[in-house]
């Protein structure tokens, strides 16, 4: 697998990644200084530069960390037998759930993809980002193959897979922008939100009947 889980970060490195993810989410990549991340850790730059050679490498680390966790969620279901539409229901559900539960990491991954699409980066940054985005594209391929197969099996109905998978992902990813967990909110309420989002995407893809989740 492309760059997946090559290195498991040790405890201190993991703390840095989490703090960095928080900062990147709150202010965005370029508005976040390395000192900001250090401050959040109650530490100084020295600690961060001991583990990461540069700010962009730190960002790449968070991206990788985030993508790993997203992959983790879907991994158990991606190769299950049965009709493709049933597989889609499961991976769409756990994907969206993960978007909400790991909102911070998911948004950093989002910004990474955005940065790549912009293209306005240094050649060295670009090389790293290229690899990461390939990793992320291999993830979206899982969904693309699944919905195409489901269409062949007569359960979905759409024209261009490229366009459709983009619309689908945008809908499934939407909560990373607006979802705010209420204090004392139980999982059941969160699942209700997930269900509505997945239902929207399911219908959008041309799925028939009700979504039984």
Q: In the complex, what is the shortest distance from the CB of residue 65 to DNA, in angstroms, rounded to a whole number? A: 17
Query: Per CB under 8 A, does 140 bind a second copy?
Result: no
- Choose the one of a second copy, DNA, none that binds residue 173, judging by a C-beta under 5 to 8 angstroms depending on kind: a second copy
8 A C-beta contact, residue 143 and residue 91: yes
Choose, by CB under 8 A, the member of 37, 91, 100, 197 that binds a second copy: 197
Choose, by CB under 7 A, the member of 3, 28, 36, 161 that binds DNA: 36
8 A C-beta contact, residue 169 and residue 113: no
Q: In the complex, what is the shortest distance from the CB of residue 63 to DNA, in angstroms, rounded to a whole number? A: 16
99 CB contacts (<8 Å, ≥6 apart)?
106, 172, 173, 175, 176
Pick the piece of the chain touching a second copy (CB under 8 A) from 7-15, 54-62, 80-88, 160-168.
Answer: 160-168
Choose, by CB under 8 A, the member of 167, 181, 187, 213 that binds a second copy: 167
Choose, by CB under 7 A, the member of 47, 90, 126, 195 that binds DNA: 47
Query: Angle 125-131-136 (CA atoms, 0-180°, nearest 5)?
Result: 120
8 A C-beta contact, residue 206 and residue 156: yes
DSSP element (H, E) containing 12? helix 11-27
């Amino acid at each position: 697998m492309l760059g997946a889980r090559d290195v498991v970060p040790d405890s201190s490195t993991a703390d840095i990644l989490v703090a960095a993810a928080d900062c990147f989410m709150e202010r965005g990549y370029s508005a976040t200084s390395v000192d900001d991340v250090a401050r959040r850790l109650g530490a100084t730059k020295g600690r961060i530069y001991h583990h990461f050679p540069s700010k962009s490498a730190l960002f790449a680390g968070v991206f990788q960390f985030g993508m790993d966790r997203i992959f983790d969620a879907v991994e158990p279901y991606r190769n299950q037998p049965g009709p493709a539409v049933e597989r889609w229901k499961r991976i769409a559900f756990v994907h969206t759930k993960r978007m909400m539960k790991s909102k911070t990491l998911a948004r950093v991954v989002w910004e990474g993809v955005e940065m790549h699409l912009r293209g306005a980066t240094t050649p060295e940054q670009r090389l790293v980002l290229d690899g990461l985005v390939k990793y992320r594209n291999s993830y979206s391929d899982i969904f693309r193959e699944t919905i195409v197969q489901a269409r062949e099996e007569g359960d979905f109905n759409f024209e261009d897979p490229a366009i459709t998978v983009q619309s689908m992902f945008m809908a499934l990813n939407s909560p990373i922008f607006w979802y705010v967990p209420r204090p004392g909110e139980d999982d059941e309420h969160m699942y209700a939100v997930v269900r509505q989002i997945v239902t929207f995407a399911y219908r959008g893809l041309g799925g028939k009947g009700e979504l039984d989740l």
